[in-house]
A and B are shown apart, each in its own frame.
Chain A
Amino acid sequence: GAVVSQHPSRVICKSGTSVKIECRSLDFQATTMFWYRQFPKQSLMLMATSNEGSKATYEQGVEKDKFLINHASLTLSTLTVTSAHPEDSSFYICSASGEANEKLFFGSGTQLSVL
């Protein structure tokens, strides 16, 4: 099956720093990538939909200046958490699809801890 690689898997940073998370589709072209946030024992919360070559579409309540998304190629999307604070600590997951509404391929997630 298709593979989505997400890095880093874990990051610990100081409050006020920015953190970049990468999501790559390794063996297919992902026209759309999605970024989620997940709290312990809860479901995924969609943050934004990222389309190659265009601006990301953010879900209501998600600060676009706080969570910068770049989808510069058909195989790479990045999420940058700017000026991270402890409340941004969470598990962030990306997913990619080749066809709309068909199955998604997920990265392995990034556990962000902001001290």
Chain B
Amino acid sequence: SQQGEEDPQALSIQEGENATMNCSYKTSINNLQWYRQNSGRGLVHLILIRSNEREKHSGRLRVTLDTSKKSSSLLITASRAADTASYFCATASQGAQKLVFGQGTRLTINP
């Protein structure tokens, strides 16, 4: 079953604006990861944040993790049309081999 729940399910913004996506999960985790998927393609790893970290940056991406609330957010700053894609969070739990993916957020950046 899917542990991660993401909101919003779909987000449409203007180019240049910031986009924020949220992910909630239910069990204790080792790390939480964010992936991006362009239509009809495989997923690409964006960023990994460990359970003892609260915030992480990578270029225009900023990820936060609140283990007390079991939630994470992905912020994309200064969005571009090329950021249009689906974004998935995935959680890794202690002792588990597999990642559990959320339902995803479909992001559309309008030029």
Per-position contact with B for A82-95: 1 when CB-CB < 8 Å, else 0? 00000000010101
Closest to A111 in B: B40
Looking at B14-22, B53-61, B68-76, B98-106, the stretch in contact with chain A turns out to be: B98-106
Contacts of A91 in B (CB 8 A): 40
Per-position contact with A for B28-44: 1 when CB-CB < 8 Å, else 0? 00110101000011111
Known: A43-B2, A43-B102, A46-B98. A101 touches B45 (CB 8 A): no
CB pair A49 B97 closer than 8 Å: yes
Known: A93-B43, A109-B41. A103 touches B106 (CB 8 A): no
Contacts of A43 in B (CB 8 A): 2, 88, 101-104
In the complex the two chains form, what is the Cα distance from A86 to B93 in whole Å?
35
Residues in chain A within 8 A of chain B (CB atoms) = 1, 4, 6, 32, 34, 41-44, 46, 49, 91, 93, 95, 100-109, 111
